[in-house]
Every structure is written in C-alpha cells, then in structure tokens.
C-alpha cells in the first residue's frame, strides 16, 4: 500500500522547487535546531535513521502534505519521543 509520502508517478502536486547549490541548507534557525536535536538523539543511540524515516512516513497524511520538510521532522521527533516514553511526565 502506498502512503502519502510515496508520491512517485502522481500528477497534480505542483512544481518541484529546485534549490540553488550555494543556498544555505536551512531556511530558518528553527530548522537547524530540529536537525541538531535529531543528530543529538541519534548520537546518543535514542533513534536511528530508519526509525526517523518510519516516523515521518506515519505522520497523518493531511499534516504530511501541509508541513514543510523540517516540519515533518518535528512531528516525527515528537512521535518518537512519545513512543519511546521519553516525554516529561511519562512513567
């Protein structure tokens, strides 16, 4: 079954933006922070790239389509923190 993230071969999703090779990797500071949070979690062995990809793919389809690239990372990190019982107040 294809998920919302699997857009290969679908029409009507609009143009694909192409970034300048010299452009900054992040559009704003919060994106860099989210990337840093993920990298810190990965370095501590809390998550790995496969779990992160899976979490992104499990985001609600409507949210997935409306979110930015790093907005999806926020949702995925929140999901993983909840699933792993790492949120404050979890027992």
In this predicted structure, the answer to whether residue 2 has a pLDDT above a threshold of 60 is: no
Instruction: Give tens-digit pLDDT for 45-88.
Output: 999 999 999 999 999 988 998 999 999 999 999 999 999 999 87
pLDDT at residue 57, rounded to an integer: 92
Two tokens at 84?
């792993």
- What burial letters (b/e) apply to 28-45, b meaning 16+ CB within 10 Å? eeebeebeeebeebeeee
pTM for this model (two decimals): 0.75
C-alpha dihedral over 34, 72, 24, 29, to 10 degrees? -40
């Amino acid at each position: 079954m294809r998920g919302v993230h699997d857009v290969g071969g679908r029409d009507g999703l609009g143009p694909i933006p192409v970034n300048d090779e010299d452009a900054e990797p992040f559009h704003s500071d919060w994106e860099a922070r989210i990337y840093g949070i993920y990298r810190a979690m990965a370095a501590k062995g809390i998550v790995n790239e496969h779990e992160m990809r899976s979490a992104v793919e499990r985001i609600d389809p409507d949210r997935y389509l409306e979110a930015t690239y790093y907005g999806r990372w926020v949702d995925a990190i929140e999901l993983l923190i909840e699933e792993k019982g790492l949120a404050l107040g979890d027992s």
